[in-house]
Amino acid sequence: MADAKVEKEAGPAPGGEIEQQENVPRKREYKDFGEEKHKATHAKVDMNQIELKAEDLYDKEKVDLETIVIEDVFALLQVTEEGLDDEEAERRLGLFGPNKLESEEQNPFLQFLSFMWNPLSWVMEAAALVAIALSNGGGRPPDWQDFVGIVTLLLINSSIGFYEERGAGNAVKALMDSLAPKARVKRNGKWQEIESANLVPGDMIAFKIGDVVPADCRLTEAINVSIDQAALTGESLPCSKKAGDQCFSGSTCKAGEAEGVVIATGANTFFGRAASLVGQDDDTTGHLQKILAQIGSFCLVAIGIFVLLEIVILYPAFHYSYRRGLDNILVLLIGGIPIAMPTVLSVTLAVGAQQLAKHKAIVTRITAIEELAGVTILCSDKTGTLTTNKLTIDKQLVKTYGPFSPDDVMLLAAYASRTENQDAIDSCVVGMLDDPKKARAGIKLLDFKPFNPVDKRTEITYREEATGRLKRVTKGMTGKIIELCTRNKTDDVENRLEADVEEFATRGLRALAVAYEELDHDDHEGEGNGFELIGLLAIFDPPRDDTKQTIDDALALGIKVKMVTGDQLAIAKETGRRLGLGDHMYPAKVLKEGPAPGSKHATLDEMIMDADGFAGVFPEHKYEIVKRLQGLGHLCAMTGDGANDAPALSRANVGIAVEGATDAARGAADIVLTEPGLSTIVHAIRGSRVIFQRMRNYSIYACAVTIRIVVCFGILAFAYKFDFPPFMVLIIALLNDGTIMTLSVDRVLPSNTPDSWDLAEIFAFAVAYGLYLTLSTIALMIIIVETTFFEDKFGVSFTGGQSGSRKDANDYEIHMIIYLQVAIISQALIFVTRSHSWFFMERPSTALLCAFCIAQLISSIIAAYANWGFTQIRAISGGWIGIVWVWNIIWFLPLDLIKFAMKATIIKYLRERKARQVAELVAQQAHGEVPLTRTQSRAASLHESLYSNRVSFIRRAARKVGFGTNAPRMAPNELTRFASIQASQSGAVLARNPSRPH
């Protein structure tokens, strides 16, 4: 080493220069991860000719304000570094609008009315109109009792829906509130502070550490600027910015200070584009509304058939009076429609939301619970969601090149770090020590050089207290550190270093080199004996402690997990390997370019389905991935924490904002986690599947009751001209639904696979149960009317004096007997529909059992004491009540046998047919015979869209009569980098409205 030092001081030997040139080693480039740079280019148009066509300005090949030189930016935006004057700023404010995001406020009254706008409600409303307006004549007043009962149910249903809807978060509002409220701008050549909403393209702005960037801009000056844009782009590290670089609105300045020129404001910023994607679809029909639509259609068809039959039979054939026929039709309308289905399901979901809250999951859109049960794919953001968003040193990967151990290297690196006012790198280096105080223990700080963008390293000179010797340590970018090293920079060391850096880079790890030297004197500013490379540290954003277990649990529940991150591909692959997700990931560009020719994927959809994740994505990419997965028939959940996740969170069937998420993410999400990590998601999935089972049980029950009512009373009307009182059907509905509401806390087991609404099975069960219960009532009616069996065997009689083998079917006591029989066995059906085995093998909740008993007690009391002449019923004796109870028990017991018979025959056939269809489709797709179909996952047909809570009809009508505002909506343009679109829009408007003559 001494010889080398002498040779260095003496200079090269004669002829050495030529020899050195001949043997110059190759120039080594330690290209650390994430160091790719893009050179600025000139616009491919003459910037002096500013009057371009709008379509030219949208052409990224011609104008791209993200990459063109800053001089061209000033030319395009018609501004100088002196900024705008007040007059021009005011003019541009009129052209571009304020620098804020607009949201459309919905009229509360119309929102409430919208919950009465669906076919189920229409039938209820029609029944109310029939009861109050059409039921006149015959010497009887309007049927106001039925009218009041129906309207009460309508108002209850709408009130619950309205309450839940108003409580949901507003994503666009949260995004708007996140914008910086104030901005420092140069107007009339002077710096001043204004409302950020008044910024316009071309304004000169300034910001410093701690400020939120108020608008998208290109920097004209930058002093040690570091910008945290993780919430916007998903990048885990703050980005260093220099003059000419772009900064996004909503990002935060972490270090330095800067000036720049605004290129986009409000809805045209990166931030604003994300907001415009949130809820951009006109389709507002959720998955549960779609299911309700199909169940409602089933009920409507059944009702419609028998209403039509009654009209064509009762009036022409039986010569019914107008009022008598209407009463029979009312029975079908009131009893056939599952009047309280939306209410019952809302209560079930609301109770489920309260249960999920105990697991620290706050539900902001109540119907998301039902969709979560059926989720088949979980797309997760990486930064801050799967990972901690806190840089860490991987202690297992510390590389050493000298006589120091890995622990020594980490300690020396901590010496060369700030212990106060730390940046992200210094914080993670000091944080790797078991005790951060060791970073200054045993040494006396003499000099410290913080990181700067030129040297790209930190350096400490200190005195070791134990020996009194001066020493120096530096850490920083690999290429800069190795240039300083003179003591051990051999080919062998450089080859090892180059290989190690490349290994780190391929794994998405940032390399941090550490070098050390000693000073042989007491001057801490003097030169040392030469730096020696001693180690290389790997920096990464580690997964959360519970993430891997959560992913494993999700996979066990039949849910495929895909990572969707704004970070770079190598980082995504490394994170995927560490979590067991796999590293089969693609860069975002494939979403535009599609699969490469000759690849194993025929279509982009196939590639998305096969991928473990995507890297380098922007908000529009996340949105597109979720949308395509939905188009393939999957229910998709998305987790995230930043504004860049908001569009996808909004589009997903279930958007989940993790703990610590931004207001934008929480506003767009359906479920907000209030506890760190993703483990809560597993609890939420299991909980949602419990809730789904409750809703499925109720749906079978509701459809069965529809079949039971319309078929039973239709046949009785045709056979016996039986006129059952409509008010008693309403009583049956009220008692049934009051009992069924306790299903919201019923004991059920969650499934181990994603749930789905197999409506063919539900309808098949419903028809079987409904026809069987119909048979039980008709058989009872035949025995009562046609025989004297009960009178002879049990000694009962009718107080009206009816006797003999043929009685009047419309005797008020017979009305009461039929009421009691229908009320009891209809409610008892729920114990069969809620169980998968024998009804007594799966214990119901105490609440359900108690509610059933109370409802039956009320029904029996009504039967024993209610002499309500207005509704054509008369109290019956205890003997008849006992007969009805025994009759129902006898008919109830075989219901389980019907369930098992259905499973063994029709249900088995339906499942096998469905499995064959799926297998055939997969086989055809594998052979390229049938492309992957793009079906709409949400409102795809007329009858589904009718069930939307916020239908376009209501909005159009509201605007015509003067309610609400017709706020502009931003239609999605070609999905490219935001900056190009923003700049082109600004330039196009200015081109049409120039501020100077040409």
Query: Coil, strand, or helix at residue 446?
Result: strand
Q: Tell me which residue of 210, 978, 203, 961 sits closest to 644, measured CA to CA.
A: 978
Tokens of 12: 């090269």
Query: Coil, strand, or helix at residue 503?
Result: helix
Instruction: Please say whether the dihedral angle defined by the alpha carbons of residues 354, 360, 366 and 372, taken in this order, is positive or negative.
Output: negative
> What separation in angstroms does the CA of 173 have from each of 167, 177, 183, 648, 664?
14, 6, 20, 17, 8
Q: Tell me which residue of 226, 195, 230, 216 sits closest to 263, measured CA to CA.
A: 216
Tokens of 115: 């919950």
Residue 892's φ and ψ, nearest 5 degrees, are -70, -40
Q: Tell me which residue of 751, 645, 772 sits closest to 694, measured CA to CA.
A: 751
Instruction: Please say whether the dihedral angle defined by the alpha carbons of residues 679, 682, 683 and 688, taken in this order, is positive or negative.
Output: positive
| Cα–Cα distance for residue pair 351/356, rounded to 1 Å | 9
Cβ-based burial of 830 (10 A; exposed 0-12, middle 13-18, buried ≥19):
buried
Q: State the catalytic residue, choosing from 381, 641, 723, 811.
A: 381
| Cα–Cα distance for residue pair 897/895, rounded to 1 Å | 5
* Residue type for position 584: H
DSSP 887-954: HHHHHHTTHHHHHHHHIIIIIHHHHHHHHHHHHHHHHHHHTTSSPPP---SS--SHHHHTT-SS-HHH
For the chain, the farthest-separated pair of C-alpha atoms sits apart, in whole angstroms, at 139
SS3 per residue for 696-728: HHHHHHHHHHHHHHHHHHHHHHHHHCCCCCHHH
Tokens of 574: 């490394």
Residue 595's φ and ψ, nearest 5 degrees, are -65, 145
Helix-helix angle 70-77:978-992, to 10 degrees: 40
| Cα–Cα distance for residue pair 779/296, rounded to 1 Å | 29
DSSP 517-562: EEESSS-TTS--S-BEEEEEEEEE-PBPTTHHHHHHHHHHTT-EEE
| Cα–Cα distance for residue pair 86/187, rounded to 1 Å | 6
Which element (helix H / strand E) includes 313? helix 287-314
- For the stretch 450-470, what's the b/e string if a residue is b when 16 or more beta carbons lie within 10 angstroms of its beta carbon? bbeeeebbbbbbbbeeeeeeb
| Cα–Cα distance for residue pair 58/689, rounded to 1 Å | 47
- At CA 671, angle to CA 668 and CA 672, rounded to 5? 85
Query: Coil, strand, or helix at residue 587?
Result: strand
Tokens of 80: 């100088």
* Residue type for position 570: A
User: Catalytic annotation on 522?
Assistant: no
Residue pointed to by tokens 């007059």: 87
Q: Are 193 and 183 in contact (CB under 8 A)?
A: yes
Q: Using only the alpha carbons of the chain, give its radius of gyration.
A: 37
* Residue type for position 155: L
What are the E-state strand segments in 63-178?
none
- For the stretch 71-96, what's the b/e string if a residue is b when 16 or more beta carbons lie within 10 angstroms of its beta carbon? ebbbbbbbbeeebbeeebbeebbeeb
* Residues classed as catalytic: 381
